[in-house]
Amino acid sequence: MLPIDPIIVKNNILIIDDELKLLKLLGMIISNEGYEVFQASTARSGINMLSTHKIDLVLCDVRLPDAFGVDLVKEMKTKYPHLEIILMTAYGNIPDGVQAMRNGAYDYIVKGDDNEKIIPLVAKALEKVKDNVENIQQEKISTKINFSTIIGKSQSFLYSKMLAEKVSRTETAVLLTGETGTGKEVFANAIHQESSRKKGNFMAINCSAFGKDVLESELFGHKKGAFTGAVSDKKGLIEEAQNGTLFLDEIGEMPLELQSKMLRVLESGEFIKMGDTKISHSNFRLIAATNRDLKEESRLGNFREDLYFRLNVFEIHLPPLRERKEDIRELAKFYIDQFSKKMNLINVLINEDFYKKLENNSWKGNIRELKNTLERSLILMENSELSAQNVPDSEGGNSFAMSSVEKHHILKVLNYTKGNKAEAARLLDIGIATLYRKLEEYQMK
């Protein structure tokens, strides 16, 4: 009996770079290792490939003709959370590298200098992709977001929640306002889940992450051949949101040209895909969010006044965390339990001074900053015990910032990341070059 060959599942890797020679070279290097390689020379065509193929890993140039790669990372990770992204640069700009890591990039490398490191790096990144897929599958088992799962008992928060619950039962457009990190997308999701449209899609996009052309393609879709890289028709989010909800985050960043097109959709339900002449229709509910004062932006000419009035039918303001400090303890317990399960931690002891320190912080980054702090605190705690010393100072502190015990600190973070220096640098909030310098200084291999 002949042996049966094992079924080998190839990983799909997308390379986005406008330097065609490098694009072909990297494609050849990676495909020779048995990976399936897709290539794109613009952000727009790359994003189109993400929507039409199951991509596991993206290697993306920082300086693209139609987008900034560092900003693209956050949007790609939001839409495709299993993805890992390696950014490539010709300049070795450390601030860009730091921001890339904060946005969720797996690594940040210099073109040419790192060609011999590409394949081992790709292999490690794909291991992380496998972990991401497993984590996402576990998270899907948990309950969907609804108002009963949103934590908060402060009066200002309960008022916002009451408004959201009332408007969820209608078809009214909603404008969520508030500082970054206050939970606007969570509220938008809950409104959708409690609405008559809950069986439809909840489609979300951050309007600040793309340039005009890419954002237009993402929202309105395009026809095959509409631009270089448009190898097939693509539905936009407006069409995908048919009978569901479209959430436009940071709508204040939307270019004026697209604002007029969005106004037409809201008034008539009609839109035209890029490269098409035929009118398409979509029936969706719009929820928008912004941390800007759109009324003032309209006065300054940065935002269409007619679109502002169309959006501002029902506004809900989400209070910053510093104005709802009585909610911090309950939020902390919830996220500590969530992260503990993720890290396989049991019997975590939480000292009272830990909660007090949390309540005394200013939380400029709001709930998002609180979550990050709690995750980091669990990584750095000693003897399964959380105390005040695990919490950074309120003025922009970071529990991974360097201190007098930085050698021990670095070792602990590297242990948590299983030796992944790029991930460690991101958590430490330093550049990758700084981390290597510290490792050499402390003679840490």
pLDDT at residue 244, as a whole number = 96
Q: What would the pLDDT profile of 325-360 be if each residue is shown by its tens digit?
A: 999 999 999 999 989 988 888 889 999 999 999 999
At the topology level of CATH, where does 12-140 sit?
Rossmann fold (3.40.50)
Domain 324-442, CATH: 1.10.8.60
* 336: its two tokens: 């500590």
Q: What would the pLDDT profile of 98-125 be if each residue is shown by its tens digit?
A: 777 777 888 888 876 656 678 888 988 9
Domain 151-319, CATH: 3.40.50.300
Strand residue runs (E) in 31-187: 36-40, 57-61, 63-64, 67-68, 84-89, 107-110, 174-177
On whether the CB atoms of residues 77 and 83 are closer than 8 A, the answer is: yes
* 253: its two tokens: 């960043």
| Residue 90, CA atoms < 13 Å, CB-side half-sphere | 7
In 104-211, where does DSSP find H-type helix? 118-141, 155-168, 184-193
Q: Tell me the C-alpha distance between 94 and 434, whole Å.
A: 9
Q: What would the pLDDT profile of 180-218 be if each residue is shown by its tens digit?
A: 999 999 999 999 999 999 999 999 998 987 788 889 999
Q: Tell me the C-alpha distance between 271 and 261, whole Å.
A: 7
Return residue ranges of the chain for CATH 3.40.50.300.
Answer: 151-319
- Render 262-284 in DSSP notation, one character per residue: HHHHHHHSEEE-BT--SEEE---
Does pLDDT of 401 surpass 60? no
Does pLDDT of 440 surpass 50? yes
Which pLDDT band holds residue 404 (cuts at 50, 70, 90)? very low
Which percentage of the chain shows pLDDT scores above 70? 88
- Which residues are within 8 A (CB) of 229 and not within 5 positions of it... i.e. 6 or more apart? 40, 41, 42, 44, 45, 46, 48, 49
Return residue ranges of the chain for CATH 3.40.50.2300.
Answer: 12-140
Return residue ranges of the chain for CATH 1.10.8.60.
Answer: 324-442
Nearest to 208 by CA among 176, 252, 174: 252
Does pLDDT of 322 surpass 50? yes
Q: Which residues make beta-bridge pairs with 203?
A: 246
